[in-house]
Structure 1
Amino acid sequence: MYIYYNRDQLILPMDLEILIPKHHLCRIVDLAVEKMDPALLVSLYPGGGRPAYHPKMMLKVILYAYANRIYSSRQIAKQLKENIYFMWLSGHQTPDFRTINRFRSERMKDIIYETFFSIVDLLRQEGLVKLEDYFLDGTKIEASANKYTFVWRKSTEKYDQKLEEKFRKIVASIEQVVKEDEESEQEGDFQEKLEASPITSEKIEAVIEQVEEHLKKEPKNRTLKKAKQQLEQDILPRKKKYEEYKKVLGERNSFSKTDPDATFMRMKDDHMKNGQLKPGYNVQIGTGNQFITGFSVHQRAGDAGCFIPHLEQLAAHGRPMPKRAIADSACGSEENYTYCEKKQIVVLIKYNTLDREQTKAWAKEIGRIENMTYDEELDEWICAKGERLVFVYKRKETTDNGYVIVKRTYRCTACAGCPFQAACAKGKDTKTIRVSLKNQQQRQEIRKRLSTEEGATTYRRRQIENEPVFGQIKHNQQFHRFSLRGLPKITLEWGLVCAAHNLRKWATTTDPTRKK
């Protein structure tokens, strides 16, 4: 009446591999790690101590976990005892969550790029990626940090300035007491020493030492006692705190106290899509055929400044530069165009106004420099009325990456009584424009390149390259927030996510075990 059921009966086969499908994801992970350079994983262990778990086994387990939306070391340890795929990859070994987390966060962080690129090379051997067209884009992912424990540069500078003013008042009161002592005339002027260099914690400590010397002579002086107490208990600790904040900030405008490497960025992840400031990181990926072929993590919110550091990351690990770089208009800057020219990379990146230039409304804005004519021989611009804007001066601007942009200023001297003055000069007496001639030449080349059928077709592919990958990672894999803290560990975790994406897509694309 029922199918025979007996839990104590021995069932064959005993080998778990027989239960695993031929093209299962865990077999892809096993194959990818086995084909890696053994010396890469051996370098993680200097030797000595008790025998460690094999790094190949640990890496297989972590990659397979990330490919299955399991990011917690505790959950990975649990799967090793319950999931046959994890059991097969680990050979029935069960490292605890501390061992898994230690391997992931401490040992793997130094070789994550080598591990990732070894998988990319396997994909290239399989003919799944060509590493010619490089589609670059970025997104922001929240850090594992408290979003209410923030530090802002403007606030820090404001409070530091007020602290220095308070310090100067205290020093002035000390100076007044010291001047009354005839024996202290040879010890120098406090105010002169303060004005010689910026106020630092070392200078405050020096003032405290001098106050202590005077207190030895006048131990009952209430003014000096009060000043010493304020300097030691209030001024000096706060000054050290602000100095530490500025050191952590670097060139950033904010950071989180619980993860100092995280920067507050606007993220459109709430249901109203109006954006929220949260601590996070700007992660960049380069794709080909929806496989991730390069990745990087940045502390700045804007994508434009991440373009060059991302490509430099490829060069730092001996990767070939792509033949063509394709990105959205956020990366369309003079600095990025110039970098690609030097590296002989064909760039297909729109600048920010290219699409609007095709509209009728743009053509009616006669004050736009794109609607003027440039006289290269005389170095002058000709407006809609035929008047000339002559060169006045030039100014240099330096970007965060150290690139110098030369902008030239031109001004028209015949605007008075012009019928286009209201629309062209926008109510001002004279029309003035600031322009980089180099960038104008670059824009002309971009317009020409994207107007060709090949250029337009390649650029349209960008819509089906990066965005589906981010959608797969964020929505399908549910990776919305980092688990680790600190830029090195964040880079490691994002590298694992990217490697897991490639392995997962590899498993659904082709059979890597086939014989060629």
Structure 2
Amino acid sequence: MGYIVGEDRAQASLLPARVEGFVAAEAAVRVIDAFVDGLDLAGLGFGRAVPATTGRPGYDPRDLLKLYVWGYFNEVRSSRRLERACRRDVEAMWLLRRLAPDFKTIADFRRDNGPAIVGAARAFVLLCRDAGLFAARLVALDGSKFRAAASPKKVIGRDGIAEEAARLDRKIASYLAGLDEADAREPDDEPGAVPAALAALRTRRAELDRLAARMDAEGRATLVEDEADARPMGHGAGPKPPSYNVQSVVDVETGLIVHHAVTDEPTDRRQLHPMASATKAALDLAALTVVADKGYGNGAHAGACERDAILACVPPHRAVNNQGDGTLFDRTAFAYQPETDTLVCPAGRSLIRKQLHRKKRNVTYVAVDCSGCALKDRCTTAERRFVERHLDDDTLNRMAARATPEMMRARRCAVEHPFGTIKRMMAGGRFLTRNLKGTRTEIALSVLAYNLLRTINLRNAPA
């Protein structure tokens, strides 16, 4: 018995007379086409959204936006690959009506319309909101590190700048000495390629001076050459690659990304209130509940959330008493007395206010006298016990109490999946564009593609 075989390549065939016939009626590309056609591109700020009456006609920004959204939806992000797709992919031919822009035109569109593309991603969220998809009022917040386009070899610190500067100074001095010797022997001869090499060394030396000045001005220990907005980020030991911190807020019920942002901050400690308040405004809600991991534990942000009718559910992230092998009384064993601004230890003795740390937002309390205390061996190894209390301690306790195991399970189930899907779409989570402007555009396209995919899956899910 033979195999299933195809037609003879020399056989004449009657293909569909229209490109329309090659695209299935339920294809996702039709959703992309309908969504972009419904956008107000001029209102979003897209360039050339209104065609000029004179000059050579340009491409419709709708077509280029459709191409990019379709590309990110299908894990095709490179402008050169998108150019090739316009000539060989049937869906791309259908979407652009067989137009084939060159890669430079495609790349320039993404570069020049970054804020407008971010606005298009936000417009889809508003469309879902108006359709009633966000009804749970519970969202999950998380951050993930995405690799920058710059190589890890481009990370340079103060020691590296100093070493390279000293090496360049020696080379420059050597070149100058060689030029002086050549002039003394043959003053009329041109020294050949030496001046060009000397100019290159001096240019690099000046660049190192600029990097050092910027490092001092921004108070940074490292910089990434060719991509100043990127920072070394990551977990574990060893060198950290240049990366960005991508934040996302996911609706727990639907799994849709409601709000996102790209920052250059290595940690999440200052992201709770900005992300939660932006989500509340996007959903147009009077109150919102947000759940996040302990990396978002920030007292000032917790208080700001409460003032804005946002209930934050974040587990505590506090230091413990590491003296005595961790067996001594923790700070939670000391009761705060707001009337006298003192702490009371388990033995009933008072700790008075000693020092305010404004930067750390905490107050140090010290015991008046620990001598003769029967519980001293279980409290401290020092002469007196010191305890630090956060200025927002009550707010942090309320926020921690709301972070129940059920809430944390809901967070994990909701927020991890979108990051995994987006990183798969982005070749493991590495940007093609550079700096915050480019990476924000690229994440907006990825989030829009993910939300489109998620919405289609929700629509097709069995009831």
**Residue number in structure 1 paired with 2:241:** 278
Describe the shift of the 1:336–1:476 C-alpha distance in structure 2 as closer, same or farther (beyond 3 A).
Answer: same
Letter in 2 for 1:368: D
Distance 1:115 1:236 in 2: 42
Question: Tell me, what secondary structure is at the counterpart of 2:85?
Answer: helix
Distance in 2, Cα, partners of 1:233 & 1:282: 33
Aligned position for 2:363: 408
Alignment check: 8 A CA contact 2:257 2:447 kept: yes
2:329/2:378 contact within 8 Å kept: yes
**Equivalent in 226, 231, 252 of residue 258 of structure 1:** 226
**Whole-angstrom CA distance in 2 between matches of 1:262 and 1:95:** 31
Alignment of 1:20-99 (within 5 A): 20-40=23-43, 43-45=46-48, 47=52, 49-99=55-105
Superposed displacement of residue 320, structure 1: 3.3
Residue 297 of structure 1, CA deviation: 0.6
Contact 1:154 1:253 in 2 (8 A): no
User: TM-score, normalising length from structure 2?
Assistant: 0.79
| Aligned counterpart in structure 1 of residue 431 of structure 2, from 477, 482, 498 | 482
One of 439, 442, 452 as aligned partner of 2:395: 442
Within 2, Cα distance between the matches of 1:240 and 1:411? Answer: 48
Shift in alpha-carbon separation, 1:369–1:75, aligned structure 2, 3 A:
same
CA shift for structure 1 position 351: 1.8
Q: What is the letter of the counterpart of residue 494 of structure 1? A: I
- Check if 1:509 corresponds to 2:455: no
Alpha-carbon distance, 1:237 to partner: 7.9
Of the three residues 143, 147, 156, the one matched with 1:142 is 147
* 1:369 to 2:331 alignment: yes
**1:429 matched to which residue of 2?**
383
Q: Tell me the amino acid that sits aligned with residue 498 of structure 1.
A: V
**Structure 2 unmatched ranges of 5 or more:** 167-201
Query: How many residues align structurally?
Result: 414
What is the letter of the counterpart of residue 487 of structure 1?
Answer: L
Q: Give the C-alpha shift of residue 418 in structure 1.
A: 3.7
By how many angstroms is 1:84 displaced? 0.5
| Pair 1:254–1:418, CA change in 2 (3 A) | same
Secondary structure at 2:271 match in 1: helix
Identify if the C-alpha distance between structure 1 residues 239 and 4 changes in structure 2 by more than 3 Å, giving closer, same or farther.
closer
Q: Give, in whole Å, the separation in 1 of the partners of 2:84 and 2:76.
A: 11
Aligned residue type for 1:424: C
Aligned residue runs from structure 1 range 449-468, under 5 A: 449-450=402-403, 457-468=406-417
Partner of 2:178: none
Question: Corresponding residue for 2:190?
Answer: none
| 8 Å contact kept, 1:142–1:481 | yes
Bigger drift between 19-28 and 238-247 goes to 238-247
Measure, in 1, the Cα distance between the counterparts of 2:411 and 2:395.
21
Q: Is the 8 A contact 2:158 2:212 kept in 1?
A: no
CA distance in 1, matches of 2:42, 2:456: 26
Q: Residue 305 of structure 1 aligns to a residue in which SS?
A: coil
Counterpart of 1:243? Answer: 213
Mapped to 2, the partners of 1:127 and 1:28 lie a distance apart of: 18
Shift of 1:302: 0.4
Percent identity over paired residues: 23
Q: CA deviation at 1:409?
A: 1.8
Deviations 1:140-181 (A, max 9, x none): 01100021122336877x89xx99xxxxxxxxxxxxxxxxxx
RMSD: 3.5
- Aligned partner of 1:185 in structure 2 is none
**1:228 corresponds to:** none
Shifted more, 144-153 versus 91-100: the winner is 144-153
Seen in structure 2, the aligned counterparts of structure 1 residues 55 and 253 have a Cα distance that, compared at 3 Å, is same
Q: Specify the SS of the correspondent of 2:394.
A: helix
| Counterparts of residues 133-172 of structure 1 (less than 5 Å) | 133-152=138-157
For the residues of structure 1 that align with 2:264 and 2:12, how far apart are their CA atoms?
59
Cα deviation 1:223-255 (Å, max 9, x = unaligned): xxxxxxxxx9999886555224434xx254422
Alpha-carbon offset, residue 495 of structure 1:
0.8
What's the CA shift for 1:319? 6.1
What is the distance in 1 between the residues matched to 2:454 and 2:388? 48
Q: Distance in 2 between matches of 1:39 and 1:449?
A: 44
Q: 1:296 aligns with which of 261, 286, 296?
A: 261
Question: For 1:484, what is the secondary structure of its paired residue?
Answer: coil
The one-letter amino acid of 1:302's match is T
Structure-to-structure mapping, 1:117-266, within 5 angstroms:
117-130=122-135, 132-152=137-157, 239-247=209-217, 250=218, 252-266=220-234
For residues 86 and 237 of structure 1, the distance between their equivalents in structure 2, rounded to whole angstroms, comes to: 44
AA aligned to 2:329 is: G
- Could you list the runs of 5+ residues in structure 1 that have no partner in the other structure? 164-231, 269-273, 399-404
Aligned with 1:140: secondary structure? Answer: strand
TM (norm. structure 1) is 0.72
Distance 1:63 1:236, change over 3 A: closer
Deviation at 1:460, TM superposition (A): 2.7
Deviations 1:432-477 (A, max 9, x none): 11212x42211332344346xxxx5444311111111111122465
